[in-house]
Structure 1
Amino acid sequence: QIVMALLLLTGLVGGLVGGLVARKNKDNDKNDLILSSPAPTTLLPTTSPSLAPSAMPSAAPSFSAEAVALQQVLVEASVWDQGQALLNDSVSPQYQAFVWLLTPEGGALNNPSSVLQRYALATLYYATGGPQWKDTTGWLSSASECTWYGQTPRIDTHAPNSALCDLSDNVRYLVLNNHNLIGTLPPELALLREIREWRLSGNDLQGPAPRLATWSFVQLLDLSDNQLTGPLPLPQDNASDSSLFGASLTELVLNDNLFNDTLQEFNLTRVSQLSTLDLSRNLLTGALPDTMASLTRLQILRLRENYFEGEIDDALWQAWSSRLQILDLANAGLGGTIPTELGALRQLQVMDLSYSSRNRQGIRNAFYGTIPESIAHLQDTLVELYWDDNQFNGTFPQALTELTNLQILEAKRNQFSSTLPPSLANMTALQNLALHNNLLTGRLPTELALLSNANLREFQVGTNQLTGPIPTEWGALTRLTRLFVNTNFLTGEIPTHIGLMTSLSSFVIHTNLFTGQFPTQIGKLKQLSMIQLQNLYGITGTVPTEFGLLTNMARVRMTE
């Protein structure tokens, strides 16, 4: 039977080799060589499709004429110079995929029109530890690659962990997020020329990301949360780079990798359709290039936790103005002043220019100067502001109190001065106000009590130069969970109305000039888990026994 099978395969050589020279004229690229259908025969037995994956290729005939012809096609379609060598290397993913194609499951002889597509997917399988993937249903089976993972082919939306095709059976979407892919991405992926979306986040992919010049139709590339290194998969800023990649790209998500470029190396004008660019938590350096001003369609820009340098040019602020919704530059090493053009970012919802030593990488930003009054123009959209650890100065921006949709305002460790304006009460959506470690003076505004029916949860103004008492009216803030007024010059007695703030979990008032005794009403704060009362030298008397009712207490500090 084996001899008969070999004789039958030999009889197919003429038809197969004759079909190997068909070419597409789509882009006059030698990589477009495809297989045409072999001469029909009734002598070969057929096999029913099976969705059972084969972990390793079935035994293939020793290099017959068919195998040699197929190998020639794969070499000529190869996107790099090592194609021939890898196809002769018995341990390479390319060789394993080639041998699989020659098996009944691979179907190279029965369905040559899809051979390059199946070869590309099989190479990915072997290059990234396919047998150890979380789910291999259908992969490397005789069934159409459009049904691998058991998904219905020819649908126009992607589904979790699937290979989905268009009406011509071209793979359009490949979704393998969090799927235990381990290894490197093979350059043969460039053979999937009709691909629209790649989603491979949350795996253990290593090495460089391939530069896939033929991916002219790719709209989304998500390689986030891997271990990829080397240059970014972007068009080079030189005349010799004829790559088509990026022409249709709208979302590029590469965060949480080890890319170590400067953006100056790339021609960002060739990805001007981008609406999402996420390069967070990499090892990127240098200044932001002028070509970034061409990204006028950006809606989401995330560059946090990198090692950039330099100031953001006003031209970039102007370029981002029309559509930008999220600007995340935390721990990125950037700086400069905030121009009046900020007010033109009418779609902006989140702005993060902060620094946090808790983040695992990145360097401090250096934004400085005053905040332009034009920020008030963002009152309809702005929801979150993070300015921690910069060098902003001047009076506390009155314009901020016009942001009636703002929920979070964090501007810790800056140099804002003046008093807290009573108009804070206008910020009815405010949930978190954190201004500690500034130069604020004056009294705590009693008007803040007007937010009693609002959503205020955290109020942090420690380490400033505030004076006067804690307003008794603040007892109405029954939804407040965290109150930090420590390290100021506050005076008077601790108000008994504190007992009405029944949602408090953190009460930090140490290092002030309070007088009198600790109010017994603190014992009513059943949710309290942290209280800091040290360095209150004007307080007399004993600790109330009611403190023993605080059964959720985890941290008490009453002495230095």
Structure 2
Amino acid sequence: MERRRRCFGQRRRRWPYVGCNSAGRVTRLHLASTNITGPIPDAIGGLSSLARLDLSNNTITGTFPTALYRCRSLRYLDLSYNYIEGELLDGIGRGLGENLSLSHNRFNGVIPASLSRLRNLQSLWLDINCFVGTIPVELGDLKSLKQLRLSDNPFDSGASFKNLTNLVDLRAENCSLVGDFPSYVVRMSKLGAYRLGKHSSFLTVIGVINNELTGAIPEGLCAKGQLSFLIASSNRFSCSIPASLANCVCLKALYLDNNRLSGEVPDALWTAGRLIEAVGLQNNRLRGSLPTMMPDRLRTLDIGNNQFVGRIPTVAVSLEDFSAENNQFSGEIPANLADGMPLLHTLNLANNKLSGRIVKLLCRG
């Protein structure tokens, strides 16, 4: 036994991808980004003590290696960023432990409901594949789950995640989700990232890009003042922007473009958000005006194709991209606009009621 330990110690110094226990049995294989090609061999099922397997970012092909079901100690499995295809069989609900990542592959078919039998599962990444059908409601039984990623799969419809009270990261962008924005999200106190894209005790990231969500954006998303990113582009949200977003003193990015929003944009949104860096509200039916002086950190402002009125701002010291075409801004374009917006390199004010000329602004190197 002592001899075997010494031999393994020498081997480990030459090839650091393997970890073993005191008995010399393999417990860890870390082979990420090592140019592995072809299918995973069945012989891997003979590693009875294997607890951690990372084969991510290779060129692995074939189907899901069912030989892994024999690895009864397996707790962490990462097969992401490969070319594995085919359907996941019902047997995947046995023999796997706490973390399962199959992101960025070519899996298809439906997500098997048997995954719900992995009651100790804490991380489940299935994003960027070709899964279809309905997200199984049984996933709501995974009470230990902290991370769930389902983005970029052509599902037919979504499911409720309200029972997953330990979630800190939920992502389901580009999944053809329909219906109103889930109000239970506001009550999930541990959720730090909700992308239906930093872990925190409060909600900090909301991303629901490119779904078919309808209804109003709920009040209370920023009840704790910790929301940093609200990204809800390309849905069917209606009604107005919640006035409570003015409480988001940590807000850095707000993207509500390509929806059906209407009504007044709260004035406090421009004055309360001192950390705001990017705002995208284009292609809605929003009204309102802009302050003379924009937030100091604002770099991108796109409000084109709305119904904004009044004068355009004269001071935006960090602004680089400003698009406000097809609105109802009026008055004269400030002659010193270049001085108030020294970093600006993209400007679109077409189809407004403005007068005057833009001097010097676009002539800088």
- State whether TM-score is above 0.5: yes
Change (3 A) 1:486 1:229: same
Q: Distance in 1 between matches of 2:8 and 2:74?
A: 24
Tell me the residue number matched to 1:276: 76
Tell me the residue number matched to 1:431: 228
Change (3 A) 1:373 1:387: closer
Change (3 A) 1:346 1:543: farther
Q: Distance in 1 between matches of 2:279 and 2:16?
A: 40
**Contact 1:402/1:427 (CA < 8 Å) preserved in 2?**
no
1:448 aligns with 2:245: yes
**Contact 1:507/1:530 (CA < 8 Å) preserved in 2?**
yes
Question: CA offsets, 1:354-375, max 9 Å, x none?
Answer: 23xxxxxxxxx12342441625
1:527 aligns with 2:318: yes
Secondary structure, aligned partner of 1:491: strand
Q: Distance in 1 between matches of 2:68 and 2:240?
A: 50
Change (3 A) 1:408 1:350: farther
Change (3 A) 1:276 1:173: farther
Tell me the residue number matched to 2:273: 477
Greater RCO (CA < 8 Å, at least 6 residues apart): 2
Tell me the residue number matched to 1:558: 349
Secondary structure, aligned partner of 1:292: helix
1:489 aligns with 2:289: no
Letter in 2 for 1:257: N
Q: Distance in 1 between matches of 2:179 and 2:112?
A: 22
Q: 1:542 aligns with which of 332, 345, 349?
A: 332
Letter in 1 for 2:102: L
Q: Distance in 2 between matches of 1:557 and 1:451?
A: 28
Secondary structure, aligned partner of 1:351: strand
Cα deviation for residue 176 of structure 1 reads: 6.6
**Contact 1:462/1:488 (CA < 8 Å) preserved in 2?**
yes
Question: CA offsets, 1:42-64, max 9 Å, x none?
Answer: xxxxxxxxxxxxxxxxxxxxxxx
Q: Distance in 2 between matches of 1:312 and 1:403?
A: 24
Change (3 A) 1:257 1:515: same
Cα deviation for residue 427 of structure 1 reads: 5.5
Change (3 A) 1:303 1:244: closer
Cα deviation for residue 462 of structure 1 reads: 0.4
Q: Distance in 2 between matches of 1:526 and 1:175?
A: 55
Secondary structure, aligned partner of 2:257: coil
Q: 2:103 aligns with which of 292, 296, 304?
A: 304
Q: Distance in 2 between matches of 1:546 and 1:399?
A: 49
**Contact 2:54/2:78 (CA < 8 Å) preserved in 1?**
yes
Tell me the residue number matched to 1:372: 160
**TM-score normalized by structure 2?**
0.82
Question: CA offsets, 1:157-211, max 9 Å, x none?
Answer: xxxxxxxx84x453387267899xxxxxxxxxxxxxxx6359xxxxxxxxxxxxx
Cα deviation for residue 344 of structure 1 reads: 3.7
Change (3 A) 1:351 1:244: closer
Tell me the residue number matched to 2:206: 409
**Contact 2:38/2:61 (CA < 8 Å) preserved in 1?**
yes
Cα deviation for residue 273 of structure 1 reads: 2.1
Q: Distance in 1 between matches of 2:88 and 2:159?
A: 22
Where in structure 1 are there 5+ consecutive unaligned residues? Answer: 1-25, 27-112, 115-164, 180-194, 199-214, 236-242, 356-364
Q: Distance in 2 between matches of 1:175 and 1:254?
A: 20
List aligned pairs for 1:88-127, cutoff 5 A: none
Q: Distance in 1 between matches of 2:320 and 2:16?
A: 37
Letter in 1 for 2:162: S
Change (3 A) 1:292 1:506: same
Letter in 1 for 2:9: V
Q: Distance in 2 between matches of 1:484 and 1:279?
A: 36
From the CA coordinates, give the structure whose radius of gyration is larger: 1
Change (3 A) 1:269 1:426: same
Q: 1:171 aligns with which of 3, 6, 9?
A: 9
Letter in 2 for 1:481: E
Letter in 2 for 1:170: F
**Contact 2:113/2:139 (CA < 8 Å) preserved in 1?**
no
Cα deviation for residue 293 of structure 1 reads: 0.6
Cα deviation for residue 262 of structure 1 reads: 0.7
Cα deviation for residue 385 of structure 1 reads: 2.8
Tell me the residue number matched to 1:252: 53
1:228 aligns with 2:28: no
**Contact 1:491/1:513 (CA < 8 Å) preserved in 2?**
yes
Change (3 A) 1:472 1:382: same
Q: Distance in 1 between matches of 2:46 and 2:254?
A: 48
Q: Distance in 1 between matches of 2:49 and 2:60?
A: 23
> Identical aligned pairs, as a percentage?
24
Question: CA offsets, 1:277-329, max 9 Å, x none?
Answer: 1111111110112221114422x22211111101112221x1234331x3222
1:294 aligns with 2:94: yes
Q: Distance in 2 between matches of 1:542 and 1:500?
A: 18
**TM-score normalized by structure 1?**
0.55
Q: Distance in 1 between matches of 2:345 and 2:147?
A: 34
Question: CA offsets, 1:422-465, max 9 Å, x none?
Answer: 1212354332221100000000000111222xx32211110000
**Contact 1:268/1:291 (CA < 8 Å) preserved in 2?**
no
**Contact 1:371/1:397 (CA < 8 Å) preserved in 2?**
no
Secondary structure, aligned partner of 1:399: helix
List aligned pairs for 1:41-190, cutoff 5 A: 166=5, 168-171=6-9, 174=12
Q: Distance in 2 between matches of 1:178 and 1:170?
A: 11
In the alignment of these two chains, the number of paired residues is 336
1:313 aligns with 2:112: yes
1:509 aligns with 2:303: yes
Tell me the residue number matched to 1:322: 120
